[in-house]
């Protein structure tokens, strides 16, 4: 549930209230000035909203008019806050183009953002979503890091919208922050990956919940986030604290072979690489980067042991589906994973064996995270 604060469109200056009190008392501004010791000009400027009611002035008004100083202080604070919001609203109108860069309609449809009556209000919702004070801070926190990584690691065939990409990452981060994660334990995470590998063969209905729960117990927050328009990624990895890593996966390709390769690729980054980098991934040929190549190799080897793969040869000229299924059962993984590896390595035509791949759909990660929180509570 998204909570929104109420901000009125108009707040009268406390001087208006002061003028009403003086009228009720039958007291002139000059008389109030004599009784409080304030200059007549000061009283007049307070009434016109040009001068503030200071805490000292509020005490004097309390003594002369019998209206508590706390009342005048609260009215003044509310009015000044209103003026500040109005001034900021005017300044933000010049930056409204920033809002249009994001897939706002889709974010609202998914419940990531509340609906807004105008672009200025939507602007405020976006700032709160990202946890920043202005587009300048957004650029420093999200824009530059995401643009740098997106330019280097995404497929040349597709252009990623850095604004949509940042929104996708931020949603995953927010979901991860709501999860109860144990401190990161590398050895436990390695053990969990072994259990998840075996899970690929059976894929029970609650596979998603199991993966999230097991990894959370090892200090890794797994977030399943369908891609936004303008993003072409299979996954991402980063650390949101020294104690917790985030492994975020999309369902860009709706088959189990690509899902699990993406998952284990991200897991490899957590196991092998530093905590300061953001890794953005796509499905495709290896990137010309040592860490990416290491993650690709580790994911491939975790899913299909190298020695077993080297000895897996077709009885005839081509691999049969029966042979593939038998090999998958022998090594304890999904047949789709074997098909995907053979296709990737050019040992199987891309159109052969696809019926052994599982087609996947998953529920929104937010509902699953809420279930996990209730269970932990």
Q: What is the pLDDT of residues 202-253, one digit of tens each?
A: 889 899 999 999 999 999 999 999 888 888 788 899 999 989 999 999 876 6
Confirm whether 339 is domain-assigned.
Answer: yes
Confirm whether 154 is domain-assigned.
Answer: no
Max mean pLDDT range (290-294, 312-316, 330-334)? 330-334
Confirm whether 157 is domain-assigned.
Answer: no
Max mean pLDDT range (24-33, 145-154, 275-284)? 24-33
Range of the domain at 86: 14-93
pLDDT exceeds 80 at position 287: no
Confirm whether 105 is domain-assigned.
Answer: yes
How far, in Å, CA of 244 to CA of 188, rounded? 13
Residue 156's pLDDT is 47
Confirm whether 280 is domain-assigned.
Answer: yes
Tell me: do 211 and 67 sit in the same domain: no
Contacts within 8 Å (CB) and 24+ apart, 128-133 = 129/167, 129/170, 129/174, 130/166, 130/170, 131/170
Pairwise pLDDT comparison (145 vs 96), residue with the higher score: 96
Tell me: do 67 and 170 sit in the same domain: no
Domains contained in the chain, number:
3
pLDDT exceeds 60 at position 148: no
Tell me: do 181 and 50 sit in the same domain: no
Confirm whether 126 is domain-assigned.
Answer: yes
Confirm whether 3 is domain-assigned.
Answer: no
Q: Stretch 286-299: mean pLDDT, rounded?
A: 81
Tell me: do 74 and 204 sit in the same domain: no
pLDDT exceeds 70 at position 284: no
Write the burial class of residue 231 (CB in 10 Å: 0-12 exposed, 13-18 middle, 19+ buried). Answer: buried
Question: pTM for this one?
Answer: 0.71
Report the CATH number at residue 66.
1.10.260.40
Tell me: do 307 and 370 sit in the same domain: yes
Confirm whether 2 is domain-assigned.
Answer: no
Residue 283's pLDDT is 47
Tell me: do 103 and 193 sit in the same domain: no
Pairwise pLDDT comparison (41 vs 96), residue with the higher score: 41
Residue 27's pLDDT is 93
Tell me: do 200 and 74 sit in the same domain: no
Tell me: do 202 and 55 sit in the same domain: no
Q: Stretch 61-78: mean pLDDT, rounded?
A: 94
Write the burial class of residue 155 (CB in 10 Å: 0-12 exposed, 13-18 middle, 19+ buried). Answer: middle
CA 113 to chain CA centroid, nearest Å: 11
**Which residue among 62, 93, 124 closes a domain?**
93
Tell me: do 204 and 319 sit in the same domain: yes
Q: Stretch 185-190: mean pLDDT, rounded?
A: 96
- The string of pLDDT tens digits covering residues 105-125 is 999 999 999 999 888 889 999
pLDDT exceeds 60 at position 72: yes
Tell me: do 106 and 250 sit in the same domain: no
Contacts of 98 (CB under 8 A, 6+ apart): 123, 126, 135, 138
pLDDT exceeds 70 at position 157: no
Task: Name the percent of the chain lying above pLDDT 90.
Answer: 62
């Amino acid at each position: 549930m998204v909570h929104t604060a109420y901000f009125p469109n108009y707040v009268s200056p406390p001087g208006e209230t002061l003028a009403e009190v003086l009228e009720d008392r039958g007291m002139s501004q000059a008389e109030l000035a004599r009784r409080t010791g304030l200059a007549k000009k000061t009283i007049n400027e307070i009434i016109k909203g040009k001068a503030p009611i200071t805490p000292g002035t509020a005490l004097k008004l309390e003594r002369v008019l019998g209206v508590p100083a706390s009342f005048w202080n609260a009215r003044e604070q509310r009015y000044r806050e209103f003026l500040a919001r109005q001034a900021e609203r005017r300044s933000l109108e010049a930056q409204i183009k920033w809002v249009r860069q994001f897939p706002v309609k889709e974010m609202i449809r998914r419940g990531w953002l509340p609906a807004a009556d105008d672009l200025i209000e939507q602007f405020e919702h976006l700032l709160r979503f990202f946890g920043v004070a202005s587009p300048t801070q957004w650029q420093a926190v999200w824009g530059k890091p995401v643009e740098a990584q997106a330019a280097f690691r995404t497929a040349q065939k597709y252009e990623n919208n850095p604004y949509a990409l940042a929104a996708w990452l931020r949603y995953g981060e927010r979901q991860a922050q709501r999860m109860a994660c144990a401190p990161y334990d590398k050895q436990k995470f390695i053990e969990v990956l072994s259990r998840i590998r075996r899970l690929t063969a059976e894929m029970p209905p609650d596979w998603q919940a199991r993966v999230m729960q097991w990894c959370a117990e090892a200090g890794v927050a797994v977030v399943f986030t369908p891609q936004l328009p303008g993003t072409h990624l299979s996954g991402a990895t980063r650390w949101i604290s020294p104690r917790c890593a985030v492994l975020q996966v999309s369902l860009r390709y709706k088959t189990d072979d690509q899902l699990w390769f993406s998952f284990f690729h991200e897991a490899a980054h957590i196991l092998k690489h530093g905590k300061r980098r953001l890794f953005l991934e796509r499905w495709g040929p290896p990137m010309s980067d040592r860490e990416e190549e290491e993650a690709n190799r580790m994911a491939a080897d975790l899913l299909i042991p190298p020695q077993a793969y080297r000895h897996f040869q077709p009885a005839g000229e081509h691999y049969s589906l029966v042979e593939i299924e038998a090999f998958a059962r022998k090594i304890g993984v999904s047949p789709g994973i074997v098909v995907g590896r053979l296709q990737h390595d050019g040992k199987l035509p891309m159109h052969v064996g696809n019926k052994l791949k599982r087609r996947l759909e998953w529920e929104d990660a937010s509902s699953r995270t809420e279930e996990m929180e209730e269970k932990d509570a």
